[in-house]
Structure 1
Amino acid sequence: MYDSTCGAAATGQCGKSQRECEGLPTREPPPAPLERDYSGFDIVKATQYGAFGRVKELVEAGWDVNQPDHETVTLLHWAAINNRREIIEYLLSKGAIVDAVGGELQSTPLHWATRQGHLEATVLLVRAGADPTLRDAEGCACLHLAAQFGHTAVVAYLVARGADPDAPDAGGMTPLMWAAWKVSAVDPARLLLTLGASTTPVDRSHGNTALHWAILARNTTAISTLILYGNASLDAANVRGATPAGMLQTGDCLWLGGKVADRLREHALLTTRRSAFRRFTYEKKFRWWCVVAMPFMAFYVTGLVLEIDTLYLLKIFLLVCFYAMLHFLGNALFDDELKNIFPLSVYLATKV
């Protein structure tokens, strides 16, 4: 039977909606989000919370953008440490001093931004003329702070803008040393090496290289990165005469990957007085030529043995001895990297 009321609702001629007529719950629109009232904030708190309207209101009312607070910190410092882009741009447009010094560490706003890893604020300040080479009270420039706290993107930007990746701080610590000492991840140490950072500089107090600092911090990731990717010296001695090789050999429960362990064994054999053969087996160029030449020698010697006019039992014995010698040499000379080129050597040997 037709319900005239519902029919009127469907045509919009009654006060009920279609969902109410069908007995379904109505859908109310979500309430609008409440806007926070910033009218009671002072200008420092408004800057910290990103209340741009309140900051603009107070500045337009006559507030000096370069006036420091009781901690000698300027508004640009607070905007930088909180990554408030809109406020940073506004304060700079109103004449804020981009390299103002304040706080306990006598830092600039750029120091504060890089310490927190705020790339956006860093870019704005550098474009406005901030000097990344200025040092704080601890003697650190912005690149040192970014490396200490593992802010890889900020490190890359500062180096791209001309910062020296080997620049020392007041104590002679380079960004690579700080990354090896403080950061357990692969980057920014690997990035700094890619950008040309050297593993040879030493600090002024202890004479440590970046590898020394990585070992002291028991930072296995940095140790592997510096040895395998940066070719850091294992023989560099600090002021106490300690070398990275010696520190790694005496380190307790320090886990190292297989490739690093191989490099240490290779170094130990090359630096100790062993037989010439043992040292040759760890010489990279010698091993490479052995892997290339071995298939050629194997085919040639095998052909000579088979062509000898003698008993077949003697031929089999000679071939077995030759195979045993090749097996011994292969175990002594081959590693994972050299095994990759061995099939190509066999292929060329068969053609020859």
Structure 2
Amino acid sequence: MDDLVHAKAPPSASLVNLDSATATPSFSQTQTMVHDEMSVFVAAQRGDVAALRQLIESGSASATDRDEQNVTPLHWAAINAHIAACRYLLEQGADVDARGGDLVATPMQWAARNGYLYIIHLLIAHGADPTIADSQGYNTLHLVTHSSSIMPLLYLLHQPISVDSRDAQGHTALMWAAYQGDALSVDLLLRHGANVNLKDEAGLTPLHWAVVRGNKVCIRRLVEKGGDVAAKDAEERTPRDMAVELKSLGAWKRALEEGGMNEHGVKRAKPLSDRNTKIAIFVMPTVFFYLIFMTLSVLPWYTGVLLAMAEFFGMHHIVTRVLLNKNTYTDSVSQTPYFAGIITASLIWVVYSWVTRLLHQAESHPFSHLMFALIVGLCAYNFFRAITLDPGTCPKPASDDELKQIIEDLASEGRLNGQTFCIQCCDRGKDLPNGGKKVKKSRKSHFKS
């Protein structure tokens, strides 16, 4: 019988041509077994916990048995996403990191190929090692990336496994995600610190592999995160050269144009400096709101509304296409003070109308004016604080070596008193001094400064 999971063909590193580039690498999975009678493997494959319990408790089978392909019941339960069967087998002493099959893979690697988050979580909770590589050099992170499942990938990125770990051909998870055209996975890996300029054995970077797929979103995200557009592979080809060869130059050009560059990766000059651009974007809504309100007050409503909408569109066009020098009307606007300027302009003209028209014409309502002034002032104060205060940053998780050093420093200073241990250490206690026995505490505990 063939192995449950056939090898996933790695992208060709030495010869990338049109035929190989357009072929989507795939792996087949056989999730059934043929047996004449109920066995522990069939029960695990079907998720039949009652049958498993009967076979194991009667002594006719055990959780560590292996079939003719050297595969354990836990492998079968994991790849078929039977969490109850997996939990029972683990309780009965199944080896969580048992290797079997033609690819010499673990149960978690079998589950990772399908992106089964709950199975992966259960196995890691029972001590499964995500850094183990199968016979192809794929660890759990690579296999989850192959599945294009976002939640399991996010979960694994918070486990003690390097985001830049390589397979047998030197491919990282980011290279695989780029090659698959999986923009969500590319973005997630980049946000967790994946190196955008690493090269595989053939000198190909993630940007080269994104060009192979021709996905402009992946290309653009890699370029925006510092991908080297001039990087050359072992055959002296840049990503653009490969785009020409593979007839994906159109996607390459659109990706770089949306990123504010020409097709050679040179940024287009903006009409103003960054500081003056932000000032102009912040002030412009106030000016255009004046024009819009004047238009509505002078012209009849049926023409004034149309002209006011055209003026608003003109403001948006100037901000995105002129000041920001972007090719789309939505790109990077959220990273500018544009929306803050719109809210500020609204406050300015509301207060102006109140002062010039209502305050002197409704003097008999002093309490209403006072309440209005207090509410507007409170809104303006909180809005000002919201746009000026530092929102802070989310610190990058420490590596294992950094974590050990932190704990050693705290221990040497006498600050490690049993209540100041970081939650990450609870998952890495086996790598710490003395196996983490002196410092491993409740998961609810954390470092205290």
Shorter-chain-normalised TM-score: which range?
Answer: 0.5 to 0.7
Query: 58, 77, 88: which is aligned to 2:75?
Result: 77
Is residue 232 of structure 1 aligned with residue 259 of structure 2? no
Give 1:237 shift. Answer: 1.2
Distance 1:200 1:174 in 2: 11
Amino acid at match of 1:59: I
Query: 241, 247, 250: which is aligned to 1:246?
Result: 241
Distance 2:37 2:178 in 1: 46
Distance 1:148 1:266 in 2: 32
Query: 39, 42, 45: which is aligned to 1:48?
Result: 45
Q: How many residues align?
A: 261
Structure 1 residues 291 and 119, CA, compared in 2 at 3 Å: closer, same or farther? closer
Query: 241, 266, 276: which is aligned to 2:262?
Result: 266
Amino acid at match of 2:227: A
Structure 1 residues 102 and 294, CA, compared in 2 at 3 Å: closer, same or farther? closer
Amino acid at match of 1:55: L
Aligned position for 2:124? 126
Aligned position for 1:217? 213
Structure 1 residues 96 and 198, CA, compared in 2 at 3 Å: closer, same or farther? same
Aligned position for 2:376? none
| SS class of match (2:184) | coil
Distance 1:158 1:255 in 2: 35
Amino acid at match of 1:236: A
Aligned position for 1:163? 161
Whether the 8 Å CA contact 1:81–1:109 is kept in 2: the answer is yes
Runs of 5+ unmatched residues, structure 1: 1-38, 271-278, 296-326, 348-352
Structure 1 residues 246 and 86, CA, compared in 2 at 3 Å: closer, same or farther? same
1:287-327 per-residue CA deviation (whole Å, 9 max, x = no partner) reads 546757999xxxxxxxxxxxxxxxxxxxxxxxxxxxxxxx9
| SS class of match (1:171) | coil
Query: 100, 109, 126: which is aligned to 1:111?
Result: 109
Aligned position for 1:67? 65
1:264-296 per-residue CA deviation (whole Å, 9 max, x = no partner) reads 8536384xxxxxxxx8xx34596546757999x
Whether the 8 Å CA contact 1:47–1:55 is kept in 2: the answer is yes
Aligned position for 1:314? none
Distance 1:185 1:218 in 2: 11
Amino acid at match of 1:92: L
Aligned position for 1:151? 149
Distance 1:106 1:333 in 2: 53
Structure 1 residues 64 and 191, CA, compared in 2 at 3 Å: closer, same or farther? same
Distance 2:152 2:220 in 1: 23
Distance 1:122 1:83 in 2: 10
Aligned position for 1:176? 174
Amino acid at match of 1:216: V
Whether the 8 Å CA contact 1:177–1:213 is kept in 2: the answer is yes
Whether the 8 Å CA contact 2:216–2:255 is kept in 1: the answer is no
Distance 2:257 2:244 in 1: 10
Amino acid at match of 2:211: I
TM-score by length of structure 2 reads 0.52
1:204-242 per-residue CA deviation (whole Å, 9 max, x = no partner) reads 1x11100101112323332233224x3322111111111
Structure 1 residues 74 and 243, CA, compared in 2 at 3 Å: closer, same or farther? same
Q: CA RMSD in A?
A: 3.2
Runs of 5+ unmatched residues, structure 2: 1-35, 282-317, 346-449
Distance 2:265 2:195 in 1: 26
Amino acid at match of 1:49: R
Distance 2:53 2:227 in 1: 53
Distance 2:324 2:130 in 1: 50
Distance 1:223 1:338 in 2: 16
Is residue 187 of structure 1 aligned with residue 184 of structure 2? yes
Whether the 8 Å CA contact 2:71–2:101 is kept in 1: the answer is yes
| SS class of match (1:232) | coil
Amino acid at match of 1:200: N
Question: Higher Cα Rg: structure 1 or 2?
Answer: 1
Give 1:51 shift. Answer: 1.0
Aligned position for 1:317? none
